[in-house]
Structure 1
Amino acid sequence: MTACAIEGGTAGAAATAEPGPEEEPGPEEKGSAAPEAPAGAHIPAPPAFPPSAIPGRGAPGGSTPRTPPGGLTLTADGAYAARLTAAPGAPGERAWYPERWTLDGPEPYAVPLPLGQPEEPDSQVVPLTDGRVLIQRRVADRQMFSLLYPTGPGTGELPLGAVESPETTLLPPSPDGRSVYALAVGGHASYLWRVAGGAFGPERIAQIPGRCSGGVWLDRAGRMLALDRQVPGGGPVKTVAVDLGRQGEVTPLLQIAPESNDRLLLADADSGLLLLRSDAPGHDRLGWGVVGSCLPVRFPECLRPADAAVTPFAVQPGQMLMPESCAVALRIDGAAGSWVGVWRPAGRRLHHFAAPEGWSAGAGYWSREGVLHLPYANGATPCGVARLEAPEDTESSSGTDRAQGSGSGAEPSAAVAAPAVCKPVPLGQAPLHRAVRPTCDRS
């Protein structure tokens, strides 16, 4: 969204070789997974999860498996997930190994993928939709990539090659389900690598001037990728679109104000809903907009609760031409721990829910019917998925909340907080929309 307006803010301011078919677990392994947990309950009402699911409370006699900061990574369709986990033992004796979760069957289950020696805790893993797991290992100043897959009682490994870089970051799984991309940042440029899904191992796709971070897919084909970029020499961070079908052609995507830092967090290809973070309102705020819309970017008050950080992690798919009706799942981090928020642009209310004990915070996916799936693991359930139906936002409750002001957790009306008004330019020079000359009126 180049030069989009502000509303609701403060004024003024793969290798070619294929492994053998995957060995699915037998009845004994499938039966080891516990049944799914019921959906969480609204806070402060008593939750449907056990009391240990409430943020800040532990489970008597239970423990959450130790997992490195990378957490659980899901495929774009939510069918598989992967993580590094550790066998029980003293902190200095942890043996890290990859684990793949199957989530699209009648009952979720986990398949361990250990090799001859434990992995380093800084290794990164990404699942593919064929059930294999890509792993990245750092060896001196090189990044080594392999595909892991279950084979009989053991783990098969298919080496893919290496990238000469002291540090690379794996991007979110591509929507095509078979490609994995990595981002390496140099002194004056960033390099985008396809490390799985190509014909000859890792291949460099694009060189992008500046320092890039983030990574959001903009379409279902895995061609358009959004990255947050700071140009060489410094300056504000702006989101750009990288066209992987045109040798990594870079075009501007998101620019709210000339000097603002604008980062894209999530995008839904069906509805066009975008979730972003920007300091254009005068300080860092969570906002939303729509691809191709002539309406301004909005920064709802309900998405800035006191003493808590809010980060979106999943958008409800399948809502064609209805971006304001999409349910958005948010991770909320506060002094009591992490829990789940659900919000719709049209509803203007942030609903709070307890998370299941052992939830991999920030991991989850929506069904088209509006059911949020939250994967978790704890001492009683090694692999589970809790389901939460998105609440409805009734007109009466929304009106009551708005009348009560920001203390209710709803977005205040225009009479309470007058927005700074700009004439928007929707995705002006982005490849997803026609070019429009930016104009802005702050009167």
Structure 2
Amino acid sequence: MTALALETAPEMRPRPPRAGCVITADASYAARLAHDGTSWFPQRWTLDGPEPYAVPLPGRQPEEPDTDVLPLTDGRVLIRRRADGRRHLFALLYPTGPETGEVPLGAVECGELDLLPPSPDGRSAYALEPGEKSTHVWLVAGGAFGPEHVAEVPGRCSGGVWLDRAGRLLALDREPADGGPVKTVAVDLERGGEVTPLLQITEESDDRLLIADLDSGLILVRSDAATPGAPRLGWGVLGSTLPVRFPQALRVADCTVTPFAVQPGQTLLPESCAVALRIDGPAEGAPWLGLWRPSDGTMHQLPAPAGWLTGSGFWSREGVLSLPCVTREVSCGLARVSAPEPSVPAADGQPAPAVPGAPSAPRPVPLGQAPLGGRKAGG
């Protein structure tokens, strides 16, 4: 675990590129690794205009398929390249007329290193170095002197969900070094990685935080608390004393359902937020879409648009879902889907109860030992 000066070297251990793209927290830019039929290259999408448009950012040589990219809100794109199997080299890319400008940032030497989702501040980028006994958090863009080690968290951590707009509080799913169930913890990056318990539904359950909306406090979790040994999707509200609920509407037989976007702007109305979900079937094939609200007893399932960059998308405040797509005819497009009108009553025959919004406290309040909701077939 060492920060190094930047140096070039052949890349190794390629893995398949991600099918989707990465979108900034404010949905102003996106970035992806594109392919022109012969080689891989970074591509930046501008999303905050009337129509999206793409800018290619090719380097001096083609990229490897295991290269990662992450957009910043100033229009630059962070790129992470692998070299010699253990070096992760970082740089910032930006368009300069017909060429691509590149600012080297340095490198981190370690085995496994995963970029975290874009920080809400739009200027910083972080990476997670998981280990068997502890996990290191790196600031890889936005620091003063290249990659900076900012925190060490006991246990092996994964995931990564931001809990505030400053990019200070980070939720990680932690597996204790001595074994035991996975629990989500909040890590304060400005206090040396101070750890606070965040999500524990029961002592024995594996509880993982998948997504959190900072306006309403709505969260979606995956936990086996309601059905031991069989993880289910549930929802709750950050800071609420009400239980996490596991509605039947979020279950699709023999499929994996994963949330990827929540409607913003629904302050104090978490039950009204539209949620977009990716649905993967048991056999190989294209994923499809699910649209759902906590107040709704039904998940609306839709075919994915042609060329969807799978698993990526963002909501407008008005409830329109934009899905980045690439086809032979459209090299940079957004398919737009309106959220369905809420339907009541909920699946158990009762209207979904209102739940309070997130508190104004500077750190999240743990979702603690509240009794489980949604054990019934309709819950």
> Counterpart of 1:250?
195
Structure 2 gaps of 5+ residues are: 1-15, 351-357, 374-379
Q: How does 1:43-442 map to 2 (within 5 A)?
A: 68-69=17-18, 71-88=20-37, 94-140=38-84, 141-281=86-226, 282=228, 283-334=230-281, 335=283, 336-395=285-344, 399=345, 411-413=347-349, 431-433=363-365, 438=369
Contact 1:126 1:133 in 2 (8 A): yes
SS of the equivalent of 1:222 reads coil
- Structure 1 distance, partners of 2:18, 2:272, is 33
Contact 1:252 1:430 in 2 (8 A): no
- Structure 1 distance, partners of 2:307, 2:197, is 39
What's the offset of the Cα at 1:353? 1.9
SS of the equivalent of 2:50 reads coil
Q: State the AA in 1 paired with 2:68.
A: Q
SS of the equivalent of 2:300 reads strand
SS of the equivalent of 1:297 reads coil
Q: Percent identity?
A: 63
Contact 1:132 1:149 in 2 (8 A): yes
- Structure 1 distance, partners of 2:107, 2:154, is 23
Contact 2:163 2:214 in 1 (8 A): yes
SS of the equivalent of 1:148 reads strand
Q: State the AA in 2 paired with 1:292.
A: G
Over aligned residue pairs, what C-alpha RMSD do you find? 2.2
- Structure 2 distance, partners of 1:247, 1:226, is 15
Contact 2:74 2:123 in 1 (8 A): yes
- Structure 2 distance, partners of 1:361, 1:182, is 22
SS of the equivalent of 2:287 reads strand
What's the offset of the Cα at 1:352? 1.4
- Structure 1 distance, partners of 2:132, 2:368, is 33
Contact 2:185 2:199 in 1 (8 A): yes
SS of the equivalent of 2:271 reads helix
SS of the equivalent of 2:112 reads coil
Task: Give the TM-score taking structure 2 as reference length.
Answer: 0.87
Which structure would you say has the larger RCO, counting Cα contacts within 8 Å and 6 or more residues apart?
A: 1
Q: Deviations over 1:91-124 (max 9, x none)?
A: xxx4111111111111111111111111111111
- Structure 2 distance, partners of 1:441, 1:69, is 36
What's the offset of the Cα at 1:436? 9.8
What's the offset of the Cα at 1:439? 6.9
Structure 1 gaps of 5+ residues are: 1-66, 89-93, 403-410, 415-425
What's the offset of the Cα at 1:440? 5.8
- Structure 2 distance, partners of 1:440, 1:84, is 44
Q: State the AA in 2 paired with 1:97.
A: F
Higher strand share: 2
What's the offset of the Cα at 1:441? 9.5
Q: State the AA in 2 paired with 1:99.
A: Q
What's the offset of the Cα at 1:291? 1.4
Task: Give the TM-score taking structure 1 as reference length.
Answer: 0.74
Q: State the AA in 2 paired with 1:380.
A: E
- Structure 1 distance, partners of 2:371, 2:339, is 37
Q: Residues 440 and 351 of structure 1: is their aligned pair in 2 closer, same or farther, counting only changes over 3 Å? A: closer
- Structure 2 distance, partners of 1:313, 1:99, is 21
What's the offset of the Cα at 1:338? 1.2
- Structure 1 distance, partners of 2:221, 2:104, is 37
Contact 1:253 1:430 in 2 (8 A): no
What's the offset of the Cα at 1:337? 2.1
Q: State the AA in 2 paired with 1:206.
A: A
- Structure 2 distance, partners of 1:268, 1:165, is 32
Q: Residues 148 and 341 of structure 1: is their aligned pair in 2 closer, same or farther, counting only changes over 3 Å? A: same
- Structure 2 distance, partners of 1:230, 1:112, is 39
Q: Residues 212 and 70 of structure 1: is their aligned pair in 2 closer, same or farther, counting only changes over 3 Å? A: farther
SS of the equivalent of 2:107 reads strand
Q: State the AA in 2 paired with 1:378.
A: T
Q: State the AA in 1 paired with 2:222.
A: R
Q: Residues 179 and 233 of structure 1: is their aligned pair in 2 closer, same or farther, counting only changes over 3 Å? A: same
Higher helix share: 1
